[in-house]
Amino acid sequence: MIVVAATLALLLSIGLLCARRIGTATRLCALQGLCAAVALGGTDVATALLAGALNGIALPAALARSDGAAPLGVRGRAVLSWAAVVALLLATNAAVAPAGVAVALLGLSLIGLRSHALLPVVGLLSSQNGIVLVAAAQPALARPMALAVAVPLVPALVLAESWLRR
């Protein structure tokens, strides 16, 4: 079940790169957060519930409230961008930890490849979901470390900063 959730989160990362609207990207990122929480549930159920509530429900809901209507733009050359994404996916295999690393890197590449005022929040939240997947791959993760991984502090700070700019 953990590998299936991690693989689904990785596929949702590719969906994030293909999204045309910020609302669609937000919903995909919310589903990705729930998949990461399911993967974390194999090692620590309480922390998985916290990660699902924060990364899959609360932060995407706050992001949806500040939804911009502008479509997502593409930066740079699309062929070169997709070549980098394919190379990144080929460099990882289907295990949970490499999938988490790929999700984190794809989330960061989303910020560079697409343009929208709220996209840094989505990209950082996707990267946060990848970090949760990496934590899920650790067999004996201490609870304080798992709690530190589950809280999306950086994406929440970026969202707060974008609200202050309005």
Q: Is the pLDDT of residue 89 over 70?
A: no
More confident residue, 50 or 112: 50
The pTM of this model reads 0.82
Q: Looking at residue 10, what is its pLDDT? A: 87
The yes-or-no verdict on residue 80 having pLDDT over 70 is no
SS3 30: helix
Handedness of CA 38, 96, 135, 124 (dihedral sign): negative
pLDDT in tens, 27-58: 999 999 999 999 988 888 889 999 999 999 98
* Dihedral in degrees, nearest 10, Cα atoms 57, 60, 65, 71: -150
> For residue 20, what pLDDT is reported?
83
**Considering the chain, what is the average pLDDT of its residues?**
82
| Residue found by looking up tokens 């991984």 in the block | 149
Say if residue 70's pLDDT is above 70: no
Of 7, 133, 28, the C-alpha closest to 72 is 28
- Bridge partners for 74 per DSSP: 114
